[in-house]
Amino acid sequence: MSITLRPYQDAMLGDVRDAFRSGFKTPLLTAPTGSGKTVLFSFVASKAAGKGNKVLILVHRQELIRQTSATLTAFDVPHGIIASGVPETDEAVQVASVQTLVRRLDRMTWTPTLIVVDEAHHATRTTGHGRVLAHYPEARVLGVTATPERLDGQGLGALAGGFFDALVMGPTVAELVQLGHLSKPVVYAPPSAVDLSGIRTVAGDFNKGDLAAAMNRPAITGDAVQHYARHCNSAPAIGFCCSVAHAESVAEAFKAAGYQAASIDGTLDPDTRAQRIADLGSGALQVLTSCEIISEGTDIPIVAAAILLRPTQSLALYLQQVGRCLRPFPGKDRAVILDHVGNCHRHGLPDDDREWSLDSKPRRQRKKEDDETPTRQCEHCYEVHRPAPECPSCGFIYPVKSRRIEQVDGDLQEIAPDPARLAAKREQAKAATLDDLRKIAAARGYSPRWAEHVYRARQAKQTAWRGAR
């Protein structure tokens, strides 16, 4: 079966090619979970191999080896697998476990000309990904990730000590929802936040041991079961927990309530792990709980709900987790996110626009209590949504708080536009094409996505105007 790309995937591929043609050697493509990055780099691998190149696809989990291999097989792309217990072959495309490849680097005779790094936010100088990239300095590199950001603040860009020299922006979550390629996320959270005042922070995130003790109280686990029954009863769901013991405890609570549930962790043999993920996809399981195994990359489109039971200061982890339920599936009209720990208040809603960068940044500062939050929570159904006068889920109209307005003496004055800003607007208005806008973005130091947004907004207005005539 040949690979047919969606229009937005074809546009992403064009941007990647433009990056290579412009002289960049290690571009990083970022696009949301569920946008089809595996399909895209499988297409790239197939075309590169067809031109006589050797392509190495780096992944870091058994589940991702299986998933990538299945995608390549579905598209009739011959490939080998470099993993423990698997015989080596000389196919032009190889899917490699990072952990296995690192151990074999000194005796590898197969040399790639292109390396695709899946979940590329793991690629730093100190990780296994980094050791592989450093071992093949002549190879071109394509990184792909939904979240080009690390909790430790280390930048992924070459200027920040990383590997990547260009950031290629794909579509946003909101754009893919509008196109029907992702499900609309609906977020629910409890009326009161979990008390984390006694939880230590280690390496930038909450201490897992402290979290497991705090989150495994029967009242909290019971709430998870009750809210699941209320908002998405019997729908396939993944519960994200603080530890293996916590995941097992939550699974037992769901089973005690009559649901088919199980937990998954790294101590299970590969076949059992694969079977439990398959059971969730087939409907044999309704709830699968995990600490970290299925936070990244695992593609189960039928999953309709994410149950967040692990507080995190990591935006990347939060987006990876909620992304597990965003993929569309027949009969699935929305993605339900039961956020029992207030992660949406820390990081915003899943479909918020975000600015990404290859530069390093300081570790996230703790949010002050009086900081303005980008969300509002309905006091009736507890859905969390963007600020609005009424709840988009249940229609509750929020009462308007009365404010006393004080009148003071003075005259109103006309506020003149800032000359520099006015000149910038005129320059933007004169830009007739997308290329013109991209040149302006580069000159001003804007994200490349700015030009895309301005251009799409213009097209939408022109379409609406033509339709109104």
pLDDT tens, residue by residue, 10-66: 999 999 999 999 999 999 999 998 899 999 999 999 999 999 999 999 998 888 898
Q: What is the pLDDT of residue 219?
A: 54
How far is 282 from 251, CA to CA, in rounded Å?
Answer: 18
Task: Give bridge partners of residue 217 from the DSSP assignment.
Answer: none
pLDDT of residue 220: 64
Per-residue model confidence (pLDDT) at position 3: 76
Q: Which helix (H) or strand (E) holds 365?
A: none
**pLDDT digits over 214-229, tens only?**
666 655 656 889 889 9
CB atoms within 10 A of CB 29: 27
Specify the domain boundaries for CATH 3.40.50.300 within the chain.
7-177, 185-350
Listed residue (281, 179, 205) closest to 238, CA to CA = 281
Please give the CATH topology (third level) of the domain spanning 185-350.
Answer: Rossmann fold (3.40.50)
Residue 462 has pLDDT above 60, yes or no: no
- Residue 32: CB atoms within 10 A of its CB come to 25
The CA angle 378-348-428, to the nearest 5 degrees, is 120
Listing DSSP states for 29-45 in one string gives EE--TTS-HHHHHHHHH
Structural tokens at position 322: 């909620």
Calpha distance 304→281 (Å, rounded): 11
The rounded distance, in Å, linking the Cα atoms of 72 and 66 is: 10
Residue closest to 193 by CA, chosen among 229, 213, 230, 223: 223
pLDDT of 467 over the 80 cut: no
By residue count, the chain amounts to: 469
DSSP assignment string, 188-234: E--SS----TT--EETTEE-HHHHHHHHT-HHHHHHHHHHHHHHHTT
List, for residues 169-187, the tens digit of each pLDDT value: 999 999 999 889 999 999 8
Which strands make up the sheet holding 27-30, listed edge to edge? Answer: 80-82, 93-97, 55-59, 114-118, 140-145, 27-30, 166-169
Question: Element (H or E) spanning 82, and its range?
Answer: strand 80-82
CATH class for the domain made up of 7-177: alpha beta
Q: Could you tell me which residue, 169 or 408, shows the higher pLDDT?
A: 169
Full DSSP string of 124-149: -TTSHHHHHHHH-TTSEEEEEES---
CB 322 within 8 A of CB 146: no
Question: What is the average pLDDT across 371-398?
Answer: 64
**Which residues share a beta bridge with 306?**
238, 337
Q: What pLDDT, on a 0 to 100 scale, did the predictor assign at position 417? A: 38
Q: pLDDT digit string (tens) for 302-335? A: 999 999 988 888 888 899 899 999 999 998 989 9
Confidence of residue 273 (pLDDT cuts 50, 70, 90): confident
Closest alpha carbon to 255 in 294, 286, 214, 223:
286
CB 178 within 8 A of CB 184: no
Residues 6+ apart with CB under 8 A from 415: none
Q: Are 386 and 374 in contact (CB under 8 A)?
A: yes
